[in-house]
Amino acid sequence: MSEPIKVDIWSDVQCPWCFIGKRKFEAGVAEFGGEVEVEYHSFELAPDTPVDFDGTPVDYLSDRKGISRAQANEMIDRVTGIAKAVGLDYDYDHIHQTNTVKAHELLHYAKSKGRQLEMKERLLEAYFLNGEHVGRIADLADIAADIGLDRDDVVRALESEEFLADVKADVAQAAEYGINGVPFFVIDGKYGVSGAQEAQAFANVLAKVASEREAVQ
Amino acid sequence: MTDARIIPLTIVGDPTAAACVGDFCEIPEHHEQAVVNARLDDDNV
């Protein structure tokens, strides 16, 4: 039996294309049909955002990017429509814009417990679908407990910044790959796929890796 | 000054696929068209 194809994915919890891209990637893997091993890596899109950002995503876009509120609303409407097309009901009326470094630490904590994939899905749901806060330790601990992780131990790990160095190592590795946007997929350590591609694009590159492996056997 | 090491990757797929860069998430035009097409399909136009 051949080894699964390793896919390393750089992503941020409050990146709308990362959740959409996740669904498209999953569809691509299903289309490919072979074994794939996924590992998520941290990428902070806006590391200077305060944990308790006081405002809506429209406030954030208009204040920080200098675009009009009407344009910001149009952008959000469009991305919400695209999310819906892959089965995701983004709820921008209840999103809490925040700093995601603690969410990334939690993803590394979950990885250490063999639960990273469930944690990633749950955090994206929390932010985009459920209106939950993904920046505060107490809220993150509740979310982690929801998938069966030890709430008190999560609080301890996040308060002590036990996994902060792992988050920073992921960010540094992204720079080494030249990654400046997410989602970004590194497939078998040699192919890079940027953005929320169509499922077929993921299936194609996975099939290419599989056929290359067969050719050298 | 740090000397950033770049690990070479072969980039594949659609180079215009939607992604978030910095704190801004752009929507390529073909995605907007895809949404319009989906709405037309939903409306059975």
CATH 3.40.30.10 describes domain A5-216? yes
Name A169's Cβ contacts closer than 8 Å, sequence gap at least 6. none
Across A62-66, A148-152, B6-10, B29-33, the highest mean pLDDT is recorded for A148-152
pLDDT at B23: 67
If you ran DSSP here, which 8-state letter would residue A130 be given? Answer: S
- A43: tokens are 């990428």
pLDDT tens digits, one per residue of B15-32: 889 999 876 776 665 555
Percentage of chain A beyond pLDDT 90 is 86
Residue B36: pLDDT above 80? no
Structure ipTM: 0.85
- A165: tokens are 């160095």
Average pLDDT, chain A: 95
Residue B8: pLDDT above 70? yes
In this complex, is the C-beta atom of B45 within 8 Å of any C-beta atom belonging to chain A?
no
In this complex, is the C-beta atom of B24 within 8 Å of any C-beta atom belonging to chain A?
yes
Residue B37: pLDDT above 90? no
The residue ranges of every structural domain in chain A are 5-216
Name A26's Cβ contacts closer than 8 Å, sequence gap at least 6. none
pLDDT at B42: 56
Instruction: Return the SS3 of B39.
Output: helix
Residue A169: pLDDT above 50? yes
Q: Which of A177, A201, A204 sits opposite B7 (nearest CB)?
A: A177
Cβ atoms of A72 and A62 closer than 8 Å? yes
In this complex, is the C-beta atom of B40 within 8 Å of any C-beta atom belonging to chain A?
no
Q: What distance in Å separates residue B42's CA from the closest CA in chain A?
A: 11
pLDDT at A41: 98
